[in-house]
Structure 1
Amino acid sequence: MKKTITFAILFILGINSYAQSFNGKIVDNSNNPLPGATIVASDNPNNGVMSDAEGFFTITLQDSNVVTVSFLGYTTKKVILISSTNVIRLTEDNVALDEVLVTSASREIQKRSEVPGSISTISTKTIEETKAFGIDQLVNQVPGVFMSTSRAASNEQHFMAVRSPISTKALFLYLEDGLQIRPTSVFNHNALLEMNDISYGRVEVLKGPASSIYGSESIGGSFNFITKQPTEKLTGSIGFQTNDIGLSRYELEISDTTSDALGFYIGSHYVHRENGPIEHSNYEKLAFTFKTVYDFSATAKWTTVLDITDYRSDMSGSLSESDYFGGNFESDQTFTERDALAFRLRSTLDKFWNDKNKTSFNFVFRDNKMDQNPSYRIRQFRNIGQLTGFGSGEVNSNQFRSFVGLIQHKLDFNFANSSFIVGATSDFSPQKYVAESTNVIVNPETGRNIDFSINSGDYILNYEADIFNYAGFLQYEISPLELLKITAALRYDGFEYDYDNQAEGIAGVEDAVDTFNNLTPKIGVNLQFFW
């Protein structure tokens, strides 16, 4: 009997010897604590705890140190706990949080209700249900936004308006995950044709100059396209769309988290159109995105995104009023086109020093080239009002490479829900532009432009320019009252444009180096009213 009792005591002690307490903290991708998150032992669903108001938790485990962490609006995650303090970072579920959280104002996740500006979100669900053939079919669902593609028969070449007249001016900033698609001063009109719309989990449109984090081109508004996160398990999809106006689209997506630390996403689409409603409006586009997210420690995350876009489109030009109302959609153009090849590589290291401090280190490389034989440059010659059979035009090529560095630090304070963001960025983009005149052959009976030849060496412009943008910015936010948010910001911009004319005496202006600088303050107040 004594042996039995002794054995039972030793058995119980043996079980308890495997029990161990683990401490940790649940935070989001911006290091904000998540109170009320559930932490459950993977081998015992009855053993669970919740994080406190600061996101901290303590749980006692026995046979396994694997837990499942979940929080409403975030992706559930399995974690192997370690003996030291565990910082568990949950990624927002785009479907659940699209209407709650935004990143456009500060590159950091924050509640939309706390941003002193007008932000509209195109949710994951909306993107999936729209099944858009192009980005215009998405952004035109945002009130106050109109992306017009009628000029080029909806081939993703566009005008843009955000609570403003339609314009090709550089008033709008196009971003991917908070980083610019093109450098400042390189014409960003038509930049959206370089995007891979299948890769975006959601889109945020900031209307007006509501943020000092970005530069001058965001004065009319900004479009932030947020790429999809790797899925927890292996997923994949293929898609095909077609319509009755000659357009076909093929899609492919693959995503997985190959280990507890590394996940990837691949998304690609190919779109092609022939025999559209307007003559000479064929186009094709191949876009590819490869994204990796590597959590190589509890306090560091490395994200890399590669984008490649190959685009070619006819340029049909405009229809006259009489042709439009008469149902005559023939084109006066037979050879005009636009051809673009865009390459972008972005690498971001997010370092969480503690639960109050986060630094983001960003590097971006761009390599873009766009060749055009543009319809809007063709001029037909007339003699006493009659077409002569001749005209003029141009061919041009614009290419640039960019080397971009950006660092941003966010510090959260313990009082009044306040935070401070400080950062600096530099963008060096050597650019080359060549435009030569062309001779155009015109059918004098129909007015169609039927052929052309290049006047080689007859330069309209031929230059190289080194473009250097640099900026520093800071932003402070505080909520002295629960329903009141005050934002104060300051931004300094410097710009240097080193122009080297390659056709001196023939075209263009003399070589010059121009420098500009600007200091921009900002203050915003956001007060929520309840009736």
Structure 2
Amino acid sequence: MTLRRAYLFVVIALTPTAMMADELADIERITTTATRSSTANTPRPFVISTVSQTALKLVAPTHIEQVLKHVAGANIQHGNGQEYLPALRSPVLSGAGACGGILTAEDGIALRAAGFCNINELFEAHTEMAERIEVLKGPGSALYGSNAVHGVINVITPDSTQAHGFASLDFGSFGYKRAKFQQGHDMGDSGIGISASVTRDSGYRDDESVAQEKVSLRYRLETDNVSVVSGLTFSDLDQHTAGFIEGFESYKDPIIAQSNAYPDAFRKASALRAWSQFTWQNERSTLVITPYLRDQDMRFFKHFLPGTPLEKNGQTGGGVQSLWRYQGFGSVQVELGFDGEYTQANMLQYQQNPTQGSAFLVATVPQGKHYDYDVASTLYAPFFNLQWQWQVLSIDAGARYEHLNYDYDNNMAAGRNRDDGTPCGMGGCRYSRPPSSENSFSTWSPKFGLNWALSDQHLLYANVSQGYRAPQAAELYQLQRNQTVADLAVETANNLELGIKGVFNDGENPLNYVFSVYGMDKDNVIFRDSDFFTINDGKSSHRGVELELEYAFNADWQLRFAGTHAKHRYESDQQLGDVNIKGNEMDTAPRNIANVQLNWQPRDTIMTSVEWHHVGRYFTDAENLHEYEGHQLVNVRANWQPTEQLSLTLRINNLANTAYADRADYTSFSGDRYFPGKPRHLAMTLQYNW
């Protein structure tokens, strides 16, 4: 059955019975990611998974990958230090604009402007102090536009304005240390608070390290007419980065796994975000307006490219989110909104030393500047959403129109010459700079969903939606070889999802569950072809089933499970060497991923947890000629709280000391290559609350 026919089938097949759907509100977790406010309580026809504050405290993640594995459909591959590559109902995304496939946010505001994402950008969010992390799967909401193709990862910072606080210290293997602090001052109708973290990690591999500081400020003001919540997050990262190791299954050799062929590689990044959310509310309507500012700067050594150039990039800008929600007579709710932002960005790629290697690389990768440009972008996006509840049936329909404009200014001579204007040998320089230009992209994205109450505890839902992403600035203006202009269109994804969610309530032993089946077809997929042209006539398909459940056997024992089975395939003709990859499985896309946690609380003051994480085999190249065998990890955690103020948490990660790869890849130049996972390592957290 095609997706378009399936859409019609869903609309026709769901018919109401005689029970009120609002009785299901208690099983739907109300999230800021779904509503932009805490006042709406209508179940939505899409899935949002939540990593709770309790889970974050027990895991105390040194990297966000350690907690996002608790979400079915998520697959974050840890690189080195704070770097990673993400997947959410997708293969692991890589490449210049691949970060546009998943929207990452903090407190509902995207970490980066729509056209200037970075694949590692979640290290700028204050996950160390997060209250929770919310993950919206698929393009199910009109609140989010470009980049929310496969979903949204939203880090929610804590309300630190209450009159309490804590301090904690982490110590772990391989020189890991972290200090955290939170303090609030409550003045009744107002409050102010601070959350801060400092991380130092000398690392498992040679010549790697992480030094990172983050601080979040929060202000709250409540009056008779308006409530105001303001936040600010600043992060600073100074990282010495270890690169891939090479050779088939080289991660199984402890000496090679610990080595680092790129001791000079580094990443330095700072980011500042500030926002204020103003909320006006009366009996029937709510108005939320959130202006925000961003400022980011990054420098990193591109050790993975010939000539190992240095990249400097930055962006400064701001915008506003707005939402008006009106509860009409009967059971109709209307939402109208407008989002807009303006960003000024810059990018410089510079190679200090002559290229080493083959005669071809020496001739075509010149010393000096490769790219130097500025881009001013403007985005505006009106949207609406209508919810109508009739007996057990709730209809959710909406649409978003988005217009994104780039004003690109090339600060070098256009073409593929050296920065002094002289030509390269052997056909020309590797890097090509398009002339200054203006590019605009407009997209209309509809959403339609149904909720059907099977009982007061179980809800069936269906969601038909279209996601999209505009081409990223890097895809438009960082060209190679003979390409002088990238004529790109918006990448789109047609998505269908069916599912059931609810709770089997057996007295004191409830079973909460969410079961989802999804299918997504992507068109105009942007990729770099065998001629090194950036084009977007690719197609791909994504099919999967997911299950998340939580079951309390009794007051002491609890089981949590998150698992997915999925197939991601290339659906367009593309010749790589002698292989047409149409119909092949996409590389770095394991079919099966599962996470199981068994928690035991023998006393009120003691909590223990055993976690098993499984990653299935996957191909490491698009030709499906090379693969990684997958791995299984066991982690053990225990928390002891001897007093109300004091707690001690112990963690042993990779208990079985398994040799595995956080990421496996294959290229025709290097062959098999890996980011090796850490061997068995321990960590301890001591926290004092007041």
TM-score scaled to structure 2, two decimals? 0.56
Moved over 4 A (4+): 110-113, 440-444
- Within-5 A mapping of 1:117-516: 117-149=46-78, 151-152=79-80, 155-168=81-94, 169=98, 170-230=100-160, 232=162, 234-257=163-186, 259-274=187-202, 276-295=203-222, 297-320=223-246, 321-327=248-254, 328=256, 329-352=258-281, 354-377=282-305, 379=306, 392-416=307-331, 418-439=332-353, 458-481=368-391, 483-505=392-414, 506=419, 508-516=433-441
* 2:329 maps to amino acid: N
Output the CA distance in 2 between the equivalents of 1:174 and 1:112. 24
1:134 match: secondary structure: coil
Output the CA distance in 2 between the equivalents of 1:455 and 1:294. 56
* 2:232 maps to amino acid: L
Structure 1 residue runs of 5 or longer lacking an equivalent are 1-96, 380-391, 445-453
1:101 match: secondary structure: coil
**Deviation sequence 1:115-158 (CA, Å, 0-9, x none):** 11111111122222222223222222112111111x22xx2211
Go from structure 1 to structure 2 and tell me whether the alpha carbon gap of 1:98 and 1:468 turns closer, same or farther (over 3 Å shift): farther
- Whether the 8 Å CA contact 2:82–2:210 is kept in 1: the answer is no
Offset of 1:529 from its aligned partner? Answer: 2.7
Output the CA distance in 2 between the equivalents of 1:431 and 1:263. 35
Output the CA distance in 2 between the equivalents of 1:256 and 1:407. 29
Output the CA distance in 1 between the equivalents of 2:31 and 2:312. 37
TM-score scaled to structure 1, two decimals? 0.72
- Whether the 8 Å CA contact 1:310–1:342 is kept in 2: the answer is yes
Output the CA distance in 2 between the equivalents of 1:360 and 1:112. 16
Offset of 1:245 from its aligned partner? Answer: 2.3
For 1:523, the equivalent position in structure 2 comes to 448
Go from structure 1 to structure 2 and tell me whether the alpha carbon gap of 1:407 and 1:166 turns closer, same or farther (over 3 Å shift): same
- Whether the 8 Å CA contact 2:126–2:157 is kept in 1: the answer is no
- Residues paired across the two proteins, number: 402
Output the CA distance in 1 between the equivalents of 2:200 and 2:453. 47
Output the CA distance in 2 between the equivalents of 1:430 and 1:477. 37
Offset of 1:367 from its aligned partner? Answer: 0.7
Offset of 1:332 from its aligned partner? Answer: 0.6
Output the CA distance in 1 between the equivalents of 2:383 and 2:109. 15
* 1:475 maps to amino acid: N
Go from structure 1 to structure 2 and tell me whether the alpha carbon gap of 1:317 and 1:522 turns closer, same or farther (over 3 Å shift): same
Go from structure 1 to structure 2 and tell me whether the alpha carbon gap of 1:370 and 1:251 turns closer, same or farther (over 3 Å shift): same
For 1:383, the equivalent position in structure 2 comes to none
Offset of 1:207 from its aligned partner? Answer: 0.6
* 2:409 maps to amino acid: D
Higher relative contact order (CA 8 A, sep 6+): 2
- Whether the 8 Å CA contact 2:138–2:148 is kept in 1: the answer is yes
Output the CA distance in 2 between the equivalents of 1:412 and 1:100. 20
Output the CA distance in 2 between the equivalents of 1:210 and 1:184. 18
Output the CA distance in 2 between the equivalents of 1:143 and 1:105. 18
Offset of 1:105 from its aligned partner? Answer: 2.1
* 1:204 maps to amino acid: E
Go from structure 1 to structure 2 and tell me whether the alpha carbon gap of 1:345 and 1:314 turns closer, same or farther (over 3 Å shift): same
Output the CA distance in 2 between the equivalents of 1:412 and 1:99. 19
Percentage of identical aligned residues:
21
* 2:174 maps to amino acid: I
Structure 2 residue runs of 5 or longer lacking an equivalent are 1-25, 359-364, 420-431, 459-690
Q: What CA RMSD, in Å, does the superposition of the two structures yield over aligned residues? A: 2.3
Offset of 1:109 from its aligned partner? Answer: 3.4
For 2:512, the equivalent position in structure 1 comes to none
2:131 match: secondary structure: strand
Offset of 1:99 from its aligned partner? Answer: 6.9
1:104 match: secondary structure: helix
**Deviation sequence 1:428-477 (CA, Å, 0-9, x none):** 10111000123269899xxxxxxxxx987x21100001011111000011
* 1:466 maps to amino acid: A
Offset of 1:110 from its aligned partner? Answer: 6.8
- Whether the 8 Å CA contact 2:60–2:128 is kept in 1: the answer is no
1:218 match: secondary structure: coil
Go from structure 1 to structure 2 and tell me whether the alpha carbon gap of 1:441 and 1:250 turns closer, same or farther (over 3 Å shift): farther
**Deviation sequence 1:225-265 (CA, Å, 0-9, x none):** 22212454x212111111112211111110131x2211122
**Deviation sequence 1:315-353 (CA, Å, 0-9, x none):** 21101235322222211111011110101111111112x
Please identify the structure whose Cα radius of gyration is greater.
1
Output the CA distance in 2 between the equivalents of 1:315 and 1:217. 27
2:412 match: secondary structure: coil
* 2:199 maps to amino acid: V
Offset of 1:266 from its aligned partner? Answer: 0.7
- Whether the 8 Å CA contact 1:343–1:366 is kept in 2: the answer is yes
**Deviation sequence 1:365-410 (CA, Å, 0-9, x none):** 1110010112212x3xxxxxxxxxxxx2200100010121222111
